[in-house]
Structure 1
Amino acid sequence: MQTAATRNRNIITSNIHGLVEDVPMEDAKPTNAPLIDGLDTFTNLGLSPSLAAHLLTKMELKAPTAIQRASISQLLKEDSDAFIQAETGSGKTLAYLLPLVQRIMALSNPKNMSGVTDSRGEPVVHRDSGLFAIILAPTRELCKQISVVLEGLLRCAHWIVAGTVIGGEKKKSEKARLRKGLNILVATPGRLADHLENTQALDVSNVRWLVLDEGDRLMELGFEKELQGIIEKLTARQRPSRIPGVPANRTTILCSATLKMNVQKLGEISLKDAVHIKADPADEDGEPRKKDDDGFRVPAQLKQSYAIVAAKLRLVTLTAYLKRTFMRKGSVMKAIVFVSCADSVDFHFEVFSRKNQYREQSEEEKEDDNEDAAKTKSEASPHRTIAPATAFSNPSNPVTLHKLHGSLPQHVRTATLNAFARNTEPSVLVCTDVASRGLDLPNVDLVIEYDPAFSADDHTHRIGRTARLGRDGRALIFLMPGCEENYVEILKRGYRDGGKTLTRTTAEDILKRSFGGNLQSAGKDWEEKATDWQMDLERWAVDNPEYLEMARRGYQSHIRAYATHIASERSMFNIKELHLGHLAKSFALRDRPSKINVPGLRPGKDDAKKDYKAERNTAGKKRKAPGGGRDDGDVPSNDTTSAAQMMRAKLKQHMAAGASEFNLA
């Protein structure tokens, strides 16, 4: 009998994989799926019958995953610190939440997990009993997700109260919640450090469990100082508890996918005589793993491909790929497109949702579209995050487009994520790395890295949004010809088989399939259709000043972001090798790079000084700000002789190489 999961896998294979190479491929055994029913149950691991029954009946979890089996039994029987290492999508959140919730439930009565009551008929543990556990996560979105899972667990223990304190929320409201009392707190490090310093109502004397989720990301985001301060304050303020069963000492749990140097440093700060917990290799794929194989591995059932696409063909190729992906209803439910910066997210969101998408139209239809476009110009609001994906929808399969980045207000980010997660129809999320870590977005079948991640670790977390908990998934990364092709060797390192299942495609293959039907019957008309689409997009940008400015911002921010790849990978993403003129085409710009200038770019990571140094080497000297100093929001405006010569030389190289791409100039 064919299961729903199998049917879904076959559909995805026939549609997405057909865009890459029509080669037979055996289905890999999932490495992060729940274990087979009957071999291990939650009760066998030591969970109470009431909690195990809640998992089965209310949360529809029949069996633990490999990492959950390893973690739950260890954390229930011992109070020692622990380092949990698990691949993405393996159920790591429940691996630490289940033991934590059970231990707090047991405080009501160590002999009865159902929550015995005192003489007044109230549970022994309630919200006024004190704060027992703190869970720290690097991003607001991950905190929200952990909180949702935790609230679902606590429906079987209503007397235990959980809450969150995160950046972007009103501190006054958070203080009010803290005064009422919480037993479990989910927080971002910065906001928790703030409350520990300034909120008297936050009593941490009873905290006996501290969880540091996504430890590598906590360190990468610069939270080391805050984490050290938090740990010191928790230690200094700890007091013996009057509640029976509360451990004498605090247990710290550090979670991370990798054992990098910064994670080891965090472990030195937070852990003491920690137990290293990771899934048994035999549970993951049935094959023993080498002793020195402690690196991160992508799930075996994830099928990944890479597309070699010239800079000027990037946007039309991305659109063509998405158009082909959503050609038939039911082929793909959800896809995530990762780009490098917030300005690029805004631009691509408007491109994919614009009303007058190119197609062969009658004059009457064109007039109607022009009227609609005039009416909706005001819709280019930075806070408009959901719209129909007109660029790759069709009447039989409408697609909803979402956007997400860190510069959006917190309530908008939360609402957008919830809308994308709950949407039961085909949908696409265009986002930055704000959605790459820890978030469990259901039914994501496809991840597209339109802009490669700034490090191999970030890449692994991006593609980890699909192929979760045993589901199949697909991932595609865009690479430009030249030095970026060397990145393929980095991709292969994430595979147990050395990258044998990694497949290659080109812009021409994708464009032929989308604009020409299929590779065998496609004539030269696909070139004309693709060229017409690009030219129509450029006219749209020229005719709409607000979108033209958005395109320029996206282009400039993209160049700055390109310069932030980690040092060990910078040779593969060398900003000096970029063809700035061709790259401008991918943002629908016709201007020379030296003429593209927008003052007052979005503040943030894009304004790092090292980005400017790289830009000066490629596009000339920086423009002086009005006050005589530098305006950190601007980009190079002077077209130096060396930059022009370099661009001409690259163009000659491109032509001499006999490139088959059509001319979009």
Structure 2
Amino acid sequence: MAPEPKLDPPKGASRAWEALTPSLSEWILDAVSTMGFTRMTPVQASTIPLFMGHKDVVVEAVTGSGKTLAFLIPVVERLLRLEEPIKKHHVGAIIVSPTRELATQIHSVLLSLLAFHAPSSEALKPLDEDVNMDTGEDAVVAPKFLASALKIVPQLLLGGTTTPAQDLSSFLKTSPNMLIATPGRLLELLSSPHVHCPQSSFEVLVMDEADRLLDLGFKDDLQKILQRLPKQRRTGLFSASVSEAVDQIVRVGLRNPVRIAVKVRSASGASDKRTPASLQLSYLLTPPTHKLPSLVSLLGSLTPTPQKSIVYLATCAAVDYFQHILPSLLPSFTIVPLHGKHPPQVRRKNFTRFVDSITPAFLVTTDVAARGLDIFSIDLVVQLDPPSDPKAFLHRCGRAGRAGRKGLAVTFLTPGREEDYIAFLNVRKTPITPLSYPVISISDLDAEKATEQIRNLVRQDRALHNKAQRGFVSWVQAYSKHAASSIFRVTDLKWDELGHAWGLLKLPKMPELKKWEGDKSLGVGIDFKNYAYKDKQREKLRKQELNNAAKSEVASNSKVSAGMSKDRKANAWSQKKDQKAEREVRRKKKKARRENERLQKMTPAEREKERELQGLIQQVKQQAAKDEEEFQGFSD
């Protein structure tokens, strides 16, 4: 077979990787150095040789430690070292990710790496790239490689962006040998008889953010995917937090795996940390009404101003509300919302908008953006709501302080019982310290001004009031389901403070407020009958509904209402009686059926004894009835 063509190495390329991994191809060494990775991280130095040496691995490493290249490089090397190319419509490697954004990021890093491998780069070019569209003349033609040349052809599979039929059509047309996918869409493709993963061709399965993949939402799909893959394979599980769910899958899908735990030392060197040394974890104790003013003060006090920041909220409905509130409080920032209930096109558009923003940007999001995303220049992470799942705390904070870059993660806590969360994190080997710089000082007057500013905005559009009500209810529900339920207790919430903090015009109707005797109007006077939507069409429909309701009320008189009420009561009573009779009939039939099944299972001798027993019972009942009829009362 002809030798594999290579790209010329870039001038001045570092050989730091070559010193640590002499088994890697020269083009990979050139690629990683050109891409800016001049030194190998501990997780890469530990994982790559093992993965290359036919070992299953379970890797736990702090966020931003280079896990993506730690599995991409050995996967690519293994596929390019095969004796012959993988057959058409056969798959050699699969990388599974829990979110669309993370899968897209992995695919992007892979394409950047493959740009340095000539045959793969050539195979990934569009078919018409050799024609200059401006002049119509032939452009400079890149060298063609034999069909037998080993190359990597990846395919990205994301639910919501394409249909399963389109994915299958693309697979049949391009015949990729490496798949990067979310679990649901991957399972749909593997279910096709045209997609093959036999023992002879399949090499590697990688699960990125493995603990999240094995949550309830993905566990069934993962089991079905594993059933469609050969048992004789290499498997790698990667995450910043390895949970019990991963331990379960280790016993099912891996063979004698090597566990790699890469952590960092604290400043004192006394204990292992589970976060990068360049990331500062801090907390700020503040009442609910002071949270948003404190956020504004924090952003205004940091120098230089953070280029990109993330604020985490508990629920999608809360994001839908605060995306409209924060622009008025932070006018110099671009506010971008992102949550799991956005349509795929909206998620992709908003994520790209945040990543590509050249002005200071603020991503308002949920845990959908907590894992794996490597976004350049994120300096600040703020958790207005601590995550319900304790494992998500590390992943959220880890969006900042990546690859040695300094970062700050601040968690807002309410004074009182929530302070126990600090000790809870220390037990989980995630020490967190009070925010010492910048110093945040918010007065009650500042908090009242912020609340009034929010309410003035909400008063302008009834739709915003509706979003506030839905967001608040969803937030309370999420708070009640917190994993650390002994710390985050709904019974300890101060409803009036929370209502003011959210800028609510009134507290919503909810079970948690039934026994609360405070002012549910929050002291806000507003005429809800004339409270209008900013959308004219929606306001028109609201007024029509009000008019129809008013006409209906005028048309009905008390006698008719009373008669209708009687009819409804009579109908309701008769319906209940009929339903009760039907239930009794069904109960008797069910009892008879069970009795018949019991008799069928008996032997002839047992049936004879059963008949004798029933006869005796019947005699006793008849005698008891006869005695009852003969009894005439006591004597005088």
Per the TM superposition, whether the score is higher than 0.5 is: yes
- The answer to whether the 8 Å contact 2:89/2:195 transfers is no
Could you tell me which residue of structure 2 aligns to residue 80 of structure 1?
Answer: 55
Could you tell me which residue of structure 2 aligns to residue 177 of structure 1?
Answer: 170
How has the CA–CA distance of structure 1 residues 126 and 270 changed in structure 2, closer, same or farther, with 3 Å as cutoff? closer
How has the CA–CA distance of structure 1 residues 42 and 345 changed in structure 2, closer, same or farther, with 3 Å as cutoff? farther
Q: 1:322 aligns with which of 274, 293, 299?
A: 299
1:18-33 aligned within 5 A: none
How has the CA–CA distance of structure 1 residues 286 and 537 changed in structure 2, closer, same or farther, with 3 Å as cutoff? closer
Could you tell me which residue of structure 1 aligns to residue 330 of structure 2?
Answer: 392
- The answer to whether the 8 Å contact 1:215/1:266 transfers is no
Could you tell me which residue of structure 2 aligns to residue 53 of structure 1?
Answer: 30
Quote how far apart the aligned CAs of 1:273 are. 1.1
Could you tell me which residue of structure 2 aligns to residue 132 of structure 1?
Answer: 92
CA-atom RMSD in angstroms: 2.8
- In 2, distance between residues paired with 1:89 and 1:557? 32
Structure 1 portions without partners, runs of 5+: 1-36, 110-123, 237-248, 358-390, 513-525, 598-614, 621-641, 649-665
- The answer to whether the 8 Å contact 1:68/1:92 transfers is yes
Quote how far apart the aligned CAs of 1:81 are. 1.4
Could you tell me which residue of structure 2 aligns to residue 632 of structure 1?
Answer: none
RCO comparison, higher one (Cα < 8 Å, 6+): 1
After superposition, the C-alpha distances for 1:58-79 in whole angstroms (9 at most, x for unaligned) are: x122111110011111112x21
SS at match of 2:486: coil
SS at match of 2:517: helix
How has the CA–CA distance of structure 1 residues 446 and 286 changed in structure 2, closer, same or farther, with 3 Å as cutoff? closer
Q: 2:68 aligns with which of 93, 109, 117?
A: 93
Q: Does 2:410 correspond to 1:450?
A: no
Q: Does 2:158 correspond to 1:166?
A: yes
Could you tell me which residue of structure 1 aligns to residue 448 of structure 2?
Answer: 531
- The answer to whether the 8 Å contact 1:43/1:52 transfers is no
- The answer to whether the 8 Å contact 1:45/1:73 transfers is no
Quote how far apart the aligned CAs of 1:511 are. 4.3
Q: 2:104 aligns with which of 133, 137, 144?
A: 144
- The answer to whether the 8 Å contact 1:298/1:495 transfers is no
- The answer to whether the 8 Å contact 1:212/1:253 transfers is yes
1:220-619 aligned within 5 A: 220-235=215-230, 249-279=232-262, 297-325=274-302, 330-353=304-327, 357=328, 391-393=329-331, 398-493=332-427, 499=432, 502-504=433-435, 510-512=440-442, 528-566=445-483, 569-591=484-506, 593=507, 596-597=508-509, 616=511, 618-619=512-513
Quote how far apart the aligned CAs of 1:263 are. 1.4
SS at match of 2:516: helix
After superposition, the C-alpha distances for 1:552-595 in whole angstroms (9 at most, x for unaligned) are: 111111111112211xx11110111111222111221131x2xx
- The answer to whether the 8 Å contact 1:41/1:64 transfers is no
- In 1, distance between residues paired with 2:196 and 2:275? 41
- The answer to whether the 8 Å contact 2:214/2:222 transfers is no
- The answer to whether the 8 Å contact 1:189/1:223 transfers is yes
- In 1, distance between residues paired with 2:266 and 2:492? 41
**Percent of aligned pairs sharing the same letter:** 30
Q: Which letter does structure 1 place at the counterpart of 2:164? A: K
- The answer to whether the 8 Å contact 2:96/2:181 transfers is yes
Could you tell me which residue of structure 2 aligns to residue 374 of structure 1?
Answer: none
Quote how far apart the aligned CAs of 1:284 are. 6.5
Runs of 4+ in 1 over 6 A off after TM superposition: 283-290, 645-648
Quote how far apart the aligned CAs of 1:183 are. 1.0
Which of the two has higher C-alpha Rg? 2
Structure 2 portions without partners, runs of 5+: 1-13, 121-150, 522-636
- The answer to whether the 8 Å contact 1:306/1:478 transfers is yes
After superposition, the C-alpha distances for 1:171-215 in whole angstroms (9 at most, x for unaligned) are: 222111221211110111222222223x22222222211111111
Quote how far apart the aligned CAs of 1:529 are. 5.0
Please give the TM-score of this superposition, normalised by the length of structure 2: 0.69
How has the CA–CA distance of structure 1 residues 425 and 254 changed in structure 2, closer, same or farther, with 3 Å as cutoff? same
- In 1, distance between residues paired with 2:517 and 2:156? 53
SS at match of 1:299: coil
Please give the TM-score of this superposition, normalised by the length of structure 1: 0.66
How has the CA–CA distance of structure 1 residues 411 and 126 changed in structure 2, closer, same or farther, with 3 Å as cutoff? farther
- In 1, distance between residues paired with 2:69 and 2:437? 40
- The answer to whether the 8 Å contact 2:66/2:403 transfers is yes
- The answer to whether the 8 Å contact 1:309/1:506 transfers is no
Quote how far apart the aligned CAs of 1:423 are. 2.3
SS at match of 1:128: coil
- In 2, distance between residues paired with 1:218 and 1:348? 29
Aligned residue pairs total 472
Quote how far apart the aligned CAs of 1:43 are. 6.2
SS at match of 1:203: coil
How has the CA–CA distance of structure 1 residues 42 and 227 changed in structure 2, closer, same or farther, with 3 Å as cutoff? farther
- The answer to whether the 8 Å contact 1:138/1:214 transfers is yes
